[in-house]
């Protein structure tokens, strides 16, 4: 989710109903009086005749919510509690289950569970539809109300009922609420000369954190030959953070641009000189839980030919939400622009198509047939160049098989980078003249 924090000014109320635009048509800002009368009549009837008495402030807030809920899944009204939660979320600490959600067909859809949270540990997956909370249907419930029901005191339980593609029956999961502290970036050396950087969510300081984690990798492995940037199940976050991440790996060029109706919504973000990896090969992992800011990173690196994108098609959230404060403690989260990759691709409802399509699967080894090799023959000659390296390679085969079964996409990314490194090494290596076999006559 891209965030622009901006002020608000009175707009949309035309002083002259005869005002026209340059092409002679009436501007959209002119309020149709007849429709406005319909609204006031409906408001008056609800205010006076509804079975329960509702104060004017509550009714007006309902009206605002209704307008925003009908626009798109990401526009919403933020009351005092929701506004505070949003501000806290950008810093990476909040209470709840740890799920990034949206609305689909009236139900709450999981965009992605956040790493190391009750939702991730409890088995919630990207693409799940939440149909009930503690046995009560969420059909038609506003997104902020559904999120509010999932929030609660640390240590308290909530049962969510989900529908998952490929599973015949709904699944009940009982999760214990906790203080969710999202660690934006982590890294490790996955194998020889290959570094791994995982971005769970784009927060205010994610760009700086990526640079720090890369420096740690280089200190552990000075001969680092490739990076895996894991954006799977990353629901997005702060737009500027995604720009900062891309900027670390580009020397120059456009990263992303946005287009909207207001001048402030039209922006271009360019890379500054300096690639911290100095052109090192990069593989970016994405899946259907990679959304918004994740797609900005994947799309920019893909368009510049700076990285290979591996995995499955991303979520397809190509819109930017502005946080427009209307009072001291209330705001609108309003979709104000669409973002585009450097090559002009809109990701909205399309997503990023990976360069290499790899589904996450479990691999079952085929039982080998009984066979005999030279080494099995009685009296065979020993290999003269046999050394400790051969033994070390054999010892790694079991760990590689484990990774292939637990995370086949990561396994393929590592295999790809290892292949690239081997090719580079072969290009540098020359065969000594004294070992060139002479042609037999």
The CATH code of the domain that includes 203 is 3.90.226.10
pLDDT in tens, 203-250: 989 999 999 999 999 999 999 999 999 999 898 989 999 999 999 999
CB 174 within 8 A of CB 158: yes
According to DSSP, the residues that pair with 332 across neighbouring strands are 77, 324
pLDDT in tens, 111-164: 888 888 899 999 999 889 999 999 999 988 888 788 888 988 889 999 999 999
| Averaged pLDDT, 350-368 | 84
pLDDT band at 6 (very low <50, low <70, confident <90, very high): very low
Same domain, 118 and 257: no
Same domain, 279 and 200: yes
**Alpha carbon distance 352, 325 (integer Å):** 32
Same domain, 191 and 144: no
CB 317 within 8 A of CB 347: yes
CA 366 to chain centre: 35
What is the pLDDT, as a whole number, of residue 331? 92
Annotation marks residue 292 as catalytic = yes
| Averaged pLDDT, 68-72 | 93
- Which residue did the predictor score with more confidence, 102 or 165? 165
- Final residue before a domain boundary, out of 150, 181, 212: 181
Residue by residue, DSSP assigns 334-393 as EEEEEEE-TT--B-TTT-PPPSEE-------PPPPPP---GGGSTTPPPPTT--HHHHHH
CATH of the domain at 121: 2.30.42.10
Distance separating the N- and C-terminal Cα atoms of the chain: 71
Residue 60 lies in a domain: no
- Final residue before a domain boundary, out of 161, 181, 201: 181
Question: What Å distances lie between residue 335 and 80, 230, 261, 341, 394, CA to CA?
Answer: 20, 27, 11, 18, 54
Q: Burial level of 332, CB count in 10 A (0-12/13-18/19+)? A: buried
Same domain, 204 and 287: yes
Residue 343 lies in a domain: yes
**Alpha carbon distance 217, 225 (integer Å):** 11
Count up the domains in the chain and report the number: 2
Same domain, 157 and 191: no
Same domain, 121 and 212: no
- Final residue before a domain boundary, out of 163, 181, 199: 181
Among 146-150, 348-352, 376-380, the least confident range: 376-380
Catalytic-labelled residue, pool 79, 109, 288, 317: 317
According to DSSP, the residues that pair with 187 across neighbouring strands are 197
- Range of the structural domain that residue 229 is part of: 185-319+337-357
Residue 14 lies in a domain: no
Same domain, 290 and 234: yes
Catalytic-labelled residue, pool 303, 346, 355, 407: 303
Catalytic-labelled residue, pool 75, 184, 242, 292: 292
Instruction: Compute how many other C-beta atoms are within 10 angstroms of the C-beta atom of residue 127.
Output: 18
Annotation marks residue 9 as catalytic = no
pTM greater than the 0.85 cutoff = no
Q: What are phi and psi of 171, to 5 degrees?
A: -115, 130
Annotation marks residue 278 as catalytic = no
Same domain, 151 and 279: no
Same domain, 212 and 282: yes
CB 231 within 8 A of CB 284: yes
């Amino acid at each position: 989710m891209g965030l622009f924090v901006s002020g608000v000014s009175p707009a949309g109320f035309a002083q002259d109903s005869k005002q026209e635009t340059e092409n002679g048509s009436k501007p959209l800002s002119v309020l149709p009086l007849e429709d406005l009368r319909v609204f006031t009549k409906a408001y008056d009837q609800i205010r006076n005749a509804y079975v329960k008495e509702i104060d004017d402030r509550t009714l007006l807030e309902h009206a605002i919510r209704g307008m925003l809920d009908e626009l798109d899944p990401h526009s919403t009204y933020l009351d005092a509690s929701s506004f505070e939660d949003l501000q806290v979320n950008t810093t990476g600490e909040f209470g709840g289950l740890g799920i990034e959600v949206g609305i689909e067909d009236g139900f709450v859809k999981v965009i992605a569970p956040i790493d190391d949270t009750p939702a991730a540990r409890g088995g919630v997956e990207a693409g799940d539809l939440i149909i009930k909370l503690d046995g009560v249907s969420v059909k038609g419930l506003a997104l902020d109300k559904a999120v509010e029901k999932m929030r609660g005191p640390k240590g308290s339980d909530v049962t969510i009922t989900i529908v998952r593609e490929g599973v015949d029956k709904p699944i009940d999961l009982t999760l214990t609420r906790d203080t969710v502290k999202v660690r934006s970036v982590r890294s490790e050396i996955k194998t020889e000369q290959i570094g791994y950087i995982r971005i769970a969510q784009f927060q205010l300081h994610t760009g700086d954190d990526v640079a720090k984690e890369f420096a740690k990798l280089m200190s552990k492995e000075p001969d680092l030959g490739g990076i895996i940037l894991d954006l799977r199940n990353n629901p997005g976050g702060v737009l500027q953070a995604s720009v900062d991440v891309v900027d670390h790996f580009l020397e120059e060029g456009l990263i992303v641009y946005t287009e909207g109706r207001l001048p402030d919504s039209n922006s271009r973000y360019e890379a500054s000189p300096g690639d911290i990896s100095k052109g090192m090969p990069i593989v970016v992992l994405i899946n259907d839980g990679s959304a918004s800011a994740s797609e900005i990173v994947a799309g920019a690196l893909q368009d510049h030919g700076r990285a290979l994108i591996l995995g499955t098609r991303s979520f397809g959230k190509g819109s930017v939400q502005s946080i427009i404060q209307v009072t001291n403690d209330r705001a609108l989260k309003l979709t104000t622009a669409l973002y585009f990759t450097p090559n002009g691709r809109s990701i909205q409802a399309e997503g990023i198509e990976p360069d290499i399509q790899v589904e996450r699967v479990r691999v079952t080894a085929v039982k080998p047939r009984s066979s005999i090799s030279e080494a099995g023959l009685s009296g065979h000659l020993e290999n003269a160049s046999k050394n400790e390296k051969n033994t070390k390679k054999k010892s790694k085969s079991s760990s590689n098989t484990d990774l292939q079964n637990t995370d086949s996409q990561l396994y393929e990314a590592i295999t790809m980078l290892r292949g690239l490194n081997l090719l580079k090494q072969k290009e540098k290596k020359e065969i000594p003249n004294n070992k060139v076999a002479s042609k037999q006559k």
